[in-house]
Amino acid sequence: MMLRRILLALVCCTLGATLLDRYDVSTVAVRAADGIGSDKTRTAQKRKSRTAKKRGGRTTLVATLLGEPPISSSPLHAPSVKLLDAAGIKQLLAPVAPPNDRPLLINFWATWCEPCREEFPDLVRIYNDYNSRGLYFASISIDDPSELKTGVPKFLSEMHSQIPAFLLNVTDSEPVINSVDPDWGGELPATFLFDKHGQVVFKHKGRINPTELRAALDKVLSE
């Protein structure tokens, strides 16, 4: 565990903040993914995890939490931000049998992560273009839970975002990292596209290339 944290601290100097930073037992300095800007510090705080009610599959949970993708929506009001615990993540990623399921796009980010802020307008445009084509999209912030009704919704409003938004509320980030992708080290931002069977078909650490992500979306939605 300690070796992994040391390696992640070194990696974050070039790739950006990591999800582990929020939960580390010490204060960790993180740098923006583009290598520009001042170091930001995040102090670990243990938090009480909330147990999500089991609903038996990704489609059920996604439909419950995200709802049907809207055909149109006002750019003036950001969606409400909901807490998401470890059980919710597990349910969100659980594959179910077709034809009731849909591809799922997840973006992990934070308001204090500069590359996350820079890429968000691209994500908003992608959501607006694909929300009526059968894609589920969840943006998961790893900000402090105290930002649930302040910093996070404020940023989403500034971005004119209608992407269903969540704030991760877990005591240990490693199980979340491993459940999403064992090869993911927790770097932010991070984007993962799951097909309708729950398999990762596209993943990117750092600021996305919109053209590459759109190509992956077009492919998975045509299957």
**Does residue 199 surpass a pLDDT of 50?**
yes
Tens of pLDDT along 11-57? Answer: 343 345 566 555 442 222 233 333 323 333 333 333 333 333 333 34
What is the band of 3 on the pLDDT scale with cuts at 50, 70, 90?
very low
Is the model's pTM score more than 0.85?
A: no
Question: What's the chain's length in residues?
Answer: 223
| Domains of the chain and CATH, by start | 47-222 (3.40.30.10)
CA distance 12 to 187: 7
